[in-house]
Structure 1
Amino acid sequence: MADHSHRFIEDFEGFIGFGLNQESDMDTVIYYLQKFSDDQLMALLRNRLTHEERQTIFDLVSGILHKHLSEPEYHRYFLKDNH
């Protein structure tokens, strides 16, 4: 069984759009991130992204993880290990 999942994008049937309300904003962010991380899309984009774009994405994601997760949560939910 795979350690990673993207069930939200597969099951979501609600409104996707940003700026209407907090709930749809949260749903839209999850939706976009799961669509963005799709293996086929990443295979296409990986050689098209500039160094600066890759750095920006890495810094943004790393910063959010560092800000909102404890070290045990980082290992459990992001790294999927038993730290």
Structure 2
Amino acid sequence: MAAHAHRFIEEFEGFIGFGLNRESDMDTVIYYLQKFSDDQLMALLRKRLTDEERQSIFDLLSGLLRKHLSEPEYHRYFLKDNH
């Protein structure tokens, strides 16, 4: 069985749009992140992103993980290991 899942993007049937309310904002963020991480899209973007863009994406994501996850949560939910 695959360790990673992107079921939200496959099953979501609600409103996608930002700025209406917190719930639809979060749905939209999840939707965009799952679409953004699609293997085919990443294969295309990885050739086009500048060094600065790659660094910005990495800094944003790693900063959010450090801010909002404990060490055990980081290992369980992000790394998918039983550290």
TM interval, short-chain normalised: over 0.9
Q: Aligned AA for 1:47?
A: K
Question: CA deviation digits over 1:52-81, x for unaligned, max 9?
Answer: 000000000000000000000000000001
Superimposed CA distance per residue, residues 17-68 of structure 1 (whole angstroms, 9 cap, x where no aligned partner):
0001111000000000000000000000001000000000000000000000
Cα distance in 1 for partners of 2:8, 2:2 equals: 16
TM-score under structure 2 length normalisation: 0.99
State the shift of 1:7 in Å.
0.1
Q: Which contiguous aligned blocks of 4+ residues in structure 1 show a shift greater than 4 angstroms?
A: none
Amino acid at match of 2:48: R
Who is 1:66 aligned against?
Answer: 66
The alignment's C-alpha RMSD in Å is 0.3
CA shift, 1:4, in A, is: 0.2
Q: How many residues align?
A: 83
Give me the identity figure in percent: 88
TM-score normalised according to structure 1 size: 0.99
Residues 22-61 of structure 1: pairs in structure 2 closer than 5 A = 22-61=22-61
